[in-house]
């Protein structure tokens, strides 16, 4: 008789992770990711310079070309950035009404994470890691951790 501990059976099935190292997967996701990002940037009224920085420091000419023609394959870093930002957008719209959800990134925040800065300024300064932090913070607030 085995006395080893074991986890109880569960109906939980972990989600299958998308392999972003696969070019095929990135091809499948890139167009919709860019289109979602540009809609998010418009909803948040993000300046083009800031939008370029959120995408990882894109040149002006590339940014406007991508905006005009989103049919391209993004690198893992850029898809990850857009994923975090879209998750932030979704969490804000779950937590707050549409008006506040879209203004939230521009409002000074007293949470120690932001140290009085706006969430947008925090993400622009901290890049990918800051986006991940904001996403986790909002997911925790909505009970989705």
Mean pLDDT, the chain, whole residue set: 93
On whether residue 101 sits in a domain, the answer given is yes
Q: pTM of the predicted model, to two decimals?
A: 0.87
Determine the average pLDDT of the residues in 85-90: 97
pLDDT at 145 over 70: no
Query: Tens digits of per-residue pLDDT, 116-127?
Result: 999 999 999 999
Query: Tens digits of per-residue pLDDT, 14-69?
Result: 788 899 999 999 999 999 999 999 999 999 999 999 999 999 999 999 999 999 99
Sign of the dihedral defined by the CA atoms of residues 46, 49, 55, 61, in that order: positive
**Are the beta carbons of 88 and 133 closer than 8 angstroms?**
no
On whether residue 40 sits in a domain, the answer given is yes
Determine the average pLDDT of the residues in 85-99: 96
On whether residue 58 sits in a domain, the answer given is yes
Structural domain harbouring 102? 23-143
On whether residue 11 sits in a domain, the answer given is no
Domain count, the chain: 1
On whether residue 7 sits in a domain, the answer given is no
Q: Residue 67 has which token pair?
A: 């905006």
**Are the beta carbons of 89 and 96 closer than 8 angstroms?**
no
How far apart are alpha carbons 94 and 114 in whole angstroms?
Answer: 21
On whether residue 121 sits in a domain, the answer given is yes
Predicted pLDDT at 1: 55
């Amino acid at each position: 008789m085995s006395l080893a501990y074991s986890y109880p059976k569960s109906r939980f099935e972990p989600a299958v992770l998308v392999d972003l190292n696969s070019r095929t997967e990135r091809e499948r996701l890139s167009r919709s990711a860019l289109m979602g990002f540009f809609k998010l940037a418009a909803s948040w009224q993000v300046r083009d310079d800031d939008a370029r920085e959120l995408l990882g420091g894109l040149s002006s000419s590339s940014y406007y070309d991508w905006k005009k023609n989103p049919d391209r394959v993004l690198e893992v870093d850029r898809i990850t950035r857009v994923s975090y930002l879209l998750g932030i957008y979704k969490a804000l719209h779950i937590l707050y009404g549409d008006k506040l959800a879209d203004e939230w990134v521009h409002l000074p925040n007293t949470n120690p994470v932001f140290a009085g800065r706006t969430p947008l300024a925090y993400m622009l300064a901290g890049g990918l890691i800051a986006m991940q932090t904001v996403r986790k913070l909002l997911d925790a607030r909505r009970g989705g951790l």
